Amino acid sequence: MPNDKREEGRTAPRPNRVGVALIAVSATGFATLAIFAKLAYAEGLDLSSTLAWRFTGAAVVLWAWLVWRDEWRLKPQDAIASTLLGGVGYAIQATLFFGALAYTSAGVAALLLYTYPAFVTVLTWVIEGDCPGFYRKIALGLALTGCLLTADLGGTTVQPLGLSLGIASGAWYALYLTFGARLVRSLSPVTTSAYLSLGAALSFMGAACLGRGLIFPQTTVALGTIAGLAAIATVLPIITLFAGIQRLGTSRAAILSTIEPVVTVLLGIIFLGEQLVGRQILGGLLVVSSVVLIQAFPQD
């Protein structure tokens, strides 16, 4: 028995380390989304075409995975709900976020998106009467202050339209999580993601064809960017996120995922030459701190 206990003591931490690594990979994958979007715009792709290729690629990979594992079947009502959730709810959120990227830096857009936990708290308060406690009130104050600092209202680094779209993406994502997620709460996350991606792909393919027309990637760089959007920024982080949640639980995974906007800022500096002024860095830290506080005290 003593040997067994020593053996358990040695092996127990491993799943946690694996879980932390998986969440880190997921957050980093999601963090590349804004970078790939900027690169796609630079290659001549517009918003609708960029998102159409992103979700089409993701849907193809996810559906191939589900068919191979024979896990694609859902009840008709669940299949319809998941597809509509992707085609309307998720599509609007992606449009707002990618729209913000056309008018502001990748780092600022990511930080503004991460105000969504504060918006979730406000929605829960207004709709369900769940008055936030001490720590969540502090988190809301941090998020608001951080948002104002990140926006740099007295400077020239953020255009008003980019600011509005960035905040709107966070607000809409909160609505999407608060209402939409309830429709598919009991379903397999990967299966749901496949239907969501399919719905979003159909929406953006339709929008592109009805608008300027679907723009095809013309260069190797453009092709690689689209592949990165689908594989690295969508499929990889979705799968590793759910695998990490299985090992760490939702709360711990959510807290660790707050490295995402920080990684986006760093990637923007490294690959796009973006810069943040001092007050924006402080604002970003306050936004991330508010997310950590909300996740650390979910019942407060």
Please check whether residue 3 lies inside any domain of the structure: no
Please check whether residue 156 lies inside any domain of the structure: yes
Please check whether residue 9 lies inside any domain of the structure: no
Distance CA 110, CA 92 (A): 16
Q: Which residues contact 21 (CB under 8 A, 6 or more apart)?
A: none
Cβ contact 280:108 at 8 Å:
yes
pTM (2 d.p.): 0.85
Tens place of pLDDT per residue across the chain (300 aa): 444 444 444 444 444 788 889 989 999 999 999 999 999 999 999 999 999 999 999 999 999 999 999 888 888 998 999 999 999 999 999 999 999 999 988 988 998 898 888 888 888 888 877 777 888 888 888 888 887 787 665 555 568 898 899 999 999 998 888 877 677 667 888 888 899 999 999 999 999 999 889 999 999 999 999 999 999 999 999 889 888 888 887 667 777 888 888 899 899 999 999 887 788 888 888 888 888 887 777 666
Please check whether residue 245 lies inside any domain of the structure: yes
Distance CA 222, CA 203 (A): 22
Residue 249 sits in which domain range? 15-296
Q: Which sign does the torsion angle of CA 118, 122, 127, 132 carry?
A: positive
What per-residue confidence (pLDDT) applies to 1? 41
Please check whether residue 7 lies inside any domain of the structure: no
- Where b means 16+ CB within 10 Å and e means fewer, 271-297 reads ebebebeebbbebbbbbbbbbbbbbeb
Please check whether residue 110 lies inside any domain of the structure: yes
Please check whether residue 272 lies inside any domain of the structure: yes
The residue type found at 11 is: T
What is the number of other CB atoms lying within 10 angstroms of the CB of residue 76?
7
What per-residue confidence (pLDDT) applies to 10? 47
* Total of domains in the chain: 1
Please check whether residue 50 lies inside any domain of the structure: yes
